[in-house]
Amino acid sequence: MRHYGVGRTASAGGEEQIAKKAAAAANFLNGHAPHPGHEGLDLPQVQAEARDWIRKNIEMRELVVQTLRVTAIVHPLGKHKDDGVSESSLSILSEFGGDSTETPDPRAYEALVRRAIATLPHDTQIQLMRLTKTDE
């Protein structure tokens, strides 16, 4: 997340704290429970910042919503206690899901990921595109 230090320099301890915040925000946006390693963070503040970030970044918001929708289809409520849709997922979908009326389409997901990556700083885009490159 750009506001957590992408493109910025920080001390070693500062980088670790930034990385913890970014990981906690990513967990939240992907509907995962907080990780024990995120103890000591102000999680409500991190979650508010994550919501603000996707509020401002349409492509990332669409990616988060579609990812949560796919997760909801794959792991419906009540089927697997630990794998079901989390409260944070439901709150994100409730707040932002109305902006995206399309149902999840696995064939369109790669394009959605690429559009979201395009919103990031250039050096980060290059790193991520290498990770998402398909062997043709």
Number of C-beta neighbours around residue 116 at 10 A: 20
pTM passes above 0.85: no
Q: Which residue has the higher pLDDT, 85 or 33?
A: 33
Q: Which residue has the higher pLDDT, 127 or 106?
A: 127
- The residue behind tokens 């089927």 is 79
- In angstroms, the Cα distances linking 17 to 11, 14, 61 are 10, 5, 24
Q: In 12-83, where does DSSP find H-type helix?
A: 12-29, 43-56, 58-74
Q: Name the DSSP class of 98.
A: G
Is residue 60 pLDDT above 70, yes or no?
A: yes
The single-letter code of the amino acid at 128 is L
Range with top average pLDDT, 6-10, 32-36, 96-100: 32-36
Residues spanned by the domain of 98: 2-132
- In angstroms, the Cα distances linking 99 to 7, 23, 64, 92, 93 are 30, 25, 12, 11, 10
User: Given this model, what pLDDT does residue 7 score?
Assistant: 47
- Exposure on the CB side of residue 100, measured as CA atoms within 13 A: 25
The number of distinct structural domains making up the chain is 1
The pLDDT confidence band at residue 48, using thresholds 50, 70 and 90, is: very high
| Residue % of the chain over a pLDDT of 90 | 18
- In angstroms, the Cα distances linking 107 to 15, 58, 103, 118, 128 are 36, 20, 12, 19, 19
